[in-house]
Copies of this chain bind each other. A is one copy, B any other.
Amino acid sequence: MSTHQAPRQLKLGFILHGVGPGWGDWRHPDADPTASTNIDFYLRQAKLAEQGKFDFLFVADSVHITEKSSPHYLNRFEPLTILSAVATHTKNIGLVGTLTVSYSEPYTVARQFASLDHISRGRAGWNVVTSWLSGSAENYGKPAHPPHEVRYRIAAEHLTTVQGLWDSWEDDALVHNKETGQFIDPAKLHTLNHQGEFFSVRGPLNIARSPQGQPVIFQAGASEDGRNFSARYADAFFTEGSTIESSQAYYADIKKRAAAFGRAPHQASVLPALRAIVGATEEEAQALHRQAEGLIRIEDALVALARSFNEHDLTQYPLDGPFPDIAQYGADSNRSSSERIIRTAREENLTLRQAALRYASPRKEFVGTGVQVADAIQRWFLNDAADGFILFEALPYQLDAFITHVVPVLQERGLFRREYEATTLRGNLGLDVPENRNTAARRQAA
């Protein structure tokens, strides 16, 4: 079944959120609707995911809401603060935070993640995003967001500037000789002197080299520009993963692009989103799935769908008519997602209502017993559709169910770790610590 020689290890992330990612999840009888700002809930979930040996926690983000936004967008912790709070209550699990390059400064971003990397002793990761909602710009004094292609130029310059700052301090720059009073070796503290199209940053960063040297980079680029960005810069790719076929196509494409940038396959993990629904029996799982679907209101499903179309008002179209011609609203927004939605609607001849509810519901493929869900995961993993998954908790206590029923099956099959390999995110993902560019330059000059 597999084309791989050695047993690869599955990578698993967990989306750390308050109220669930589905638009109706908070309505479940067991759901705490105040979970999104409940620190105890977050600490519980984080510690549980670590017990389950997940590679990392992942905090999503956005910087714009309206009164129509989904509950999990409306009210959420800022990622760096909540991850810092979680850091001291965990020891091994990675801490990946989303932060937009569109409305942030490289110097501040570099500091925040370096600080998190020190606090967590080497477990920080940055999910690099470009904001795609035009409402976001209005919260940051900008009349409109830049075009799609420009956003990725900004992203590349922002990210490489941050990475340059992370190399400001060589590993042994801190001397702290109490006798002589020398605290640092000034030759090992470096300015960056970056002068680019969008940013100019002098440096050095005002925090010492962090345990990972370079925090891990995540990205979710799916468009042409996004894929090239991801393939070149990211250590792991977060994808929507709508079907095994589309994921295989994405997987092949992104690995090829990564190779063209001189990167090894294990340096570029493809991690689709996974909204599993797990029961002790198949009947229980199916009942849970029906319950989740029953919580979704069509008006919420329409707003959810509209996010990929720059929040275009979909209530103006007949619900039970053919899927409307709205491609233009997706073109400069979340392009890859909007194109996929349109393609699916056309191929399956879906009405607007059907397309919206389909989009809002957990997929049937990952509904079942521990063995059934593990089978599906294994199918994707061994057939080059995924190097692992990022789990969303679709209903309350589904993280518990996944750890109880799915993880042991994956472990028994030799697909997933029984113990952490390392205390750093790089270590657990099997990524090396890149040599500091300034140390390398010194070595090459010598």
Contacts and interface: CB of A to CB of B under 8 A. Distances in A.
Interface of A: 24, 26-29, 31, 33-34, 36-37, 39, 43, 62-65, 67-69, 71, 73-78, 80-82, 84-85, 87-89, 103-105, 107-108, 111-112, 114-116, 118-119, 121, 135, 138-141, 169, 174, 176, 178, 181, 183-184, 186, 189, 199-204, 206-208, 210, 295, 297, 300
A81 B84 contact: yes
Contacts of A107: 63, 103, 139-140
Contacts of A65: 204, 206
Contacts of A189: 67, 74
Nearest to A100: B108
B75 A206 contact: yes
Contact of A178 (B33, B69, B104, B169): B33
A141 B199 contact: yes
Nearest to A194: B141
Contacts of A34: 174, 176
A183 B74 contact: yes
Instruction: Report which residue of A85, A87, A116 has the largest number of chain B beta carbons within 10 angstroms of its beta carbon.
Output: A85
Contacts of A169: 75
A107 B207 CA distance: 25
Nearest to A77: B115
B78 A139 contact: no
24 contacts: A27-B181, A28-B178, A37-B207, A39-B121, A62-B206, A67-B184, A67-B186, A68-B186, A71-B176, A74-B184, A76-B207, A78-B111, A78-B114, A80-B84, A81-B81, A84-B84, A103-B108, A107-B140, A138-B201, A138-B202, A139-B202, A139-B203, A141-B201, A181-B295
A5 to B, nearest CB: 41
Contacts of A138: 200-202
Contacts of A85: 84-85, 87-88, 119
A158 to B, nearest CB: 11
Contact of A75 (B82, B135, B174, B300): B174
A112 B81 contact: yes
Given A88-B88, A141-B201, A74 B178 contact: no
Contacts of A115: 77-78, 81-82
